[in-house]
C-alpha cells in the first residue's frame, strides 16, 4: 500500500499528474470495463447509488449499453432494488 497522500504526490510530481485513488465499489465486474469507467466517472460507485436511476440516464453515458443495464437490473433485483 502506498503511503503517499494526495498532497505528497502532488508536491513530488509538481502537480503534473494525479495519483489514482481507489474508491470502494460494488459494481459487478460483468458489466465490463467501459461501463464501469462510465459509471464511476459519472459518480456512481455503488449499487445503492444506482437504485432509482433511470435506464435512459445510464444509457446516455458513453460505455453503458444494454448488457450493462441488464446485469445491473438483475443484481439490483437480487437486492430488492431496481433502476428507475
pLDDT in tens, 21-50: 566 789 999 999 999 999 999 999 999 999
- How far lies 11's CA from each of 19, 20, 74, in Å? 11, 15, 44
**Burial of 10 per CB tally in 10 Å (0-12, 13-18, 19+):** middle
Query: For the chain, what is the mean pLDDT?
Result: 84
CA distance 74 to 64: 15
Q: Which residues contact 74 (CB under 8 A, 6 or more apart)?
A: none
> Which of 3-7, 37-41, 49-53, 80-84 bottoms out in mean pLDDT, i.e. has the lowest?
3-7
CA distance 57 to 6: 32
* pTM of the complete model: 0.73
Which cell is 37 given? 469507467
Amino acid at each position: 500500500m502506498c503511503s503517499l497522500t494526495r498532497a505528497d504526490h502532488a508536491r513530488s510530481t509538481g502537480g503534473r499528474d494525479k495519483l489514482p485513488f481507489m474508491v470502494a465499489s460494488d459494481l459487478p465486474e460483468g458489466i465490463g470495463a467501459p461501463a464501469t469507467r462510465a459509471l464511476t466517472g459519472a459518480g456512481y460507485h455503488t449499487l445503492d447509488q444506482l437504485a432509482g436511476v433511470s435506464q435512459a440516464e445510464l444509457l446516455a453515458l458513453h460505455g453503458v449499453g444494454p448488457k450493462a443495464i441488464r446485469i445491473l437490473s438483475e443484481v439490483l433485483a437480487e437486492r430488492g432494488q431496481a433502476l428507475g
